[in-house]
Amino acid sequence: MNLKIAVLPGDGIGPEVTEQAIKVLNAIAINFNHKVSYTYADVGAIAIDNHNDPLPETTLQICKKNDAILFGAIGDPKYDNDPSAKIRPEQGLLKLRKELGLFANIRPVKAYKTLLKKSPLRKKIIKGTDISIYRELTGGLYFGEKKLSEDGNTASDLCTYSRHEIERITHMAFKAAKARKNKVTLVDKANVLESSRLWRKVVTEIGKQYPKVNLDFLFVDNAAMQMIQNPKQFDVILTENLFGDIISDEASVIGGSIGLLASASVGNKYAMFEPIHGSYPQATGKGIANPVASILSAAMLLDYFELYEEAEMIRKAVDKSLVLQITTPDLNKKFDNVTTSKVGDFIEDFINNPEDSNLNFSNIYLGQSTII
């Protein structure tokens, strides 16, 4: 297959982790006889600095002309810490989602056996957790009308959803559940919000078209508690934009690090793949950023093009890196010499040499030997 990918590294650690994902994709291309080409473009704070626009038109056109988008991270303290800033890096990401019609964000959450002790939650609570979160991405509060009074003392954000917006992601969630454990949990606030009551009405109607899939409901405050107390109960979580943003970030504690969580943002025509973490400016250039989420996002990109064997090879390589503790400091307290690029190098090498021994890999990447 010949894939053309738009690469938007963004800000902070975005370029560092994206570089590792590309390294891994190149190894896949070589070993599975594919051709992958990349076109780079600015987005976020770097785009404001270079173009005075968080999403330049040139970047948008590059995204539209390529088969998929690999996204890094956006954000910079000079904008985050300035409440009066009219132009913000996040505006670029929101506009990109809207312009490309990326209405569904899919976030897998998994408890890795080798990392159960890394989570702040008890092992018996999280063991076996495997969740897929379907978050509506182009509606709700993030895209509603925003008002600030002339005196600056009153503000409002409008949360609006249409039946169409709810229907299209609901069908995706139910189809995903059919291929998993046949359960969908709608997370809403239908006891208070009119928009949530519409969600519940529409999802209930659509659920009748999938008789083998069990549908249940949780208010978002209860869901936040249940995510900590009993995450194994969830299969597919379906929710609106704001609730999905919060719930999926909360779920990152299950894996032990937000640096493990990948995501796909898809629509009818375009698709974008990105780690869920932010730009983490404090870690920029230090070699401590965890690239696994970006690398697993690359695996989701391959899944999107039905390259399942290739995607599974990346996941096996990630699993091996976790088993051998070839991981960055957020997960690794045993070795202090594993950098962002070393993790990428290891996963690349595993793809090139999947039959090599654990000892050889450990010797090379942990610096215990120079002989294979």
pLDDT for res 364: 60
Asked if residue 207 and residue 87 are part of one domain, the reply reads no
Residue 198 belongs to what domain range?
106-256
- 126, part of any domain: yes
Q: Does the pLDDT of residue 62 top 70, yes or no?
A: yes
* Whether 238 and 112 share a structural domain: yes
User: Which whole number is the average pLDDT over 58-82?
Assistant: 94
- Does one domain contain both 249 and 294? no
| Domain containing residue 40: CATH number | 3.40.718.10
**363 in a structural domain:** yes
CA atoms of 14 and 33, how far apart (whole Å):
28
Same domain flag for 121 and 97 = no
Q: What pLDDT shows up at residue 370? A: 35
Residue 159 lies in a domain: yes
Q: Does residue 223 sit in the same domain as residue 347? A: no
Q: Which residue has the higher pLDDT, 37 or 362?
A: 37
For the chain, give the percent of residues with pLDDT over 70: 96
142 catalytic, yes or no? yes
| 127 classed as catalytic | no
Asked if residue 290 is part of any domain, the answer here is yes
318 and 239 assigned to the same domain: no
Q: Would residue 151 show up in a list of annotated catalytic residues for this protein?
A: no
Checking phi first, is residue 316 left (phi over 0); if not, alpha (psi -120 to 50) or beta?
A: alpha
**280 & 335 share domain:** yes
Over the stretch 334-364, which tens digit does the pLDDT of each residue have? 777 899 999 999 999 999 998 875 656 556 6
> Based on the domain organization, do 214 and 296 belong to the same domain?
no
Strands 236-239 and 130-136, bridge-based pairing: parallel
- Cβ contacts of 256 within 8 Å, gap of 6 or more: 112, 115, 116, 118, 119, 331
Quick one: 117 and 97 in the same domain? no
> What is the rounded distance in angstroms from the CA atom of residue 6 to the CA atom of residue 107?
21
Q: Give the integer Cα–Cα distance in Å for 309 and 299.
A: 10
Confidence label for 365 from pLDDT (cuts 50, 70 and 90): low
Q: Confirm whether 221 is a catalytic residue.
A: yes
Q: What is the mean pLDDT of residues 68-81?
A: 93
- Out of 234, 256, 278, a domain closes at 256
Query: How many other C-beta atoms can be found within 10 angstroms of the C-beta atom of residue 161?
Result: 20
User: Using CA atoms, how far apart are residues 300 and 293, in angstroms rounded to an integer?
Assistant: 10
| Close Cβ partners of 299 (under 8 Å, ≥ 6 residues apart) | 262, 311, 312, 314, 315, 318
pLDDT tens readout for residues 152-177:
999 999 999 999 999 999 999 999 99
Q: Please check whether residue 192 lies inside any domain of the structure.
A: yes
**Residue 95 sits in the same domain as residue 113:** no
Mean pLDDT computed over 36-62: 97
Judge residue 229's burial from the number of C-beta atoms within 10 Å of its C-beta, 0-12 exposed, 13-18 middle, 19 or more buried: exposed
Which of 196, 226, 256 delimits the end of a domain? 256
Contact 29/353 with Cβ under 8 angstroms? no
**pLDDT at residue 133 is higher than 80:** yes
Asked if 123 and 7 sit in the same domain, the reply is no
Q: Does the active-site annotation cover 303?
A: no
Residue of 201, 216, 221, 333 with catalytic role: 221
> Quick one: pLDDT band at residue 372, thresholds 50, 70, 90?
very low
Q: How far is CA 33 from the centre of its chain?
A: 27
96 and 4 in a common domain: yes
Torsions phi, psi for 216 (to 5 deg): -135, 175
Catalytic residue selected from 23, 110, 118, 189? 189
Residue 261 placed within a domain: no
Within a domain: 76: yes
Which one from 161, 245, 303, 342 is the annotated catalytic residue?
245
Which of 249, 319, 349, 356 does the annotation list as catalytic?
249
pLDDT tier for residue 369 given thresholds of 50, 70 and 90: very low
Q: Exposed, middle or buried by CB within 10 Å (0-12, 13-18, 19+), for 12?
A: buried
Determine, yes or no, domain membership for 262: no
Q: Catalytic: which of 112, 134, 142, 210?
A: 142
Q: Measuring CA to CA, which residue among 38, 110, 46 is closest to residue 73?
A: 46
Overall domain count for the chain: 2
Helix axis angle, 358-365 relative to 340-352, nearest 10°?
150
In the listed set 256, 275, 298, which residue is the last one of a domain according to the structure? 256
- Give the largest CA-CA distance in the chain: 70
